[in-house]
Amino acid sequence: MAGNNMEKRRGRPRSDDPKIKLDNVRLKTSTIIDVEVVAEELGVSPSVFIQTLLENEMPKYKKFLDLEED
């Protein structure tokens, strides 16, 4: 039955918090190694570690640059 609500959907599931991949970000090898070592010690993936760092540091830069929304 085409159009049935029970039919299987294709593609990525939708998310309330979509993620994007930053393909153009380049890091020094030493930085990559540091990220991997610290992430391993914390028991998280490098991606989760970097995301956490960015989420925690971004408000500081937004405030410094007066980019905060009221």
pTM: 0.65
Q: What is the DSSP letter of 66?
A: T
Domain ranges for the chain, please list them.
29-64
Residue 12 to residues 5, 9, 18, Cα–Cα distance (Å): 17, 9, 11
Nearest to 19 by CA among 42, 56, 47: 47
Q: What is the pLDDT of residues 18-69, one digit of tens each?
A: 777 777 888 899 999 999 999 999 999 999 999 999 999 999 999 999 997 6
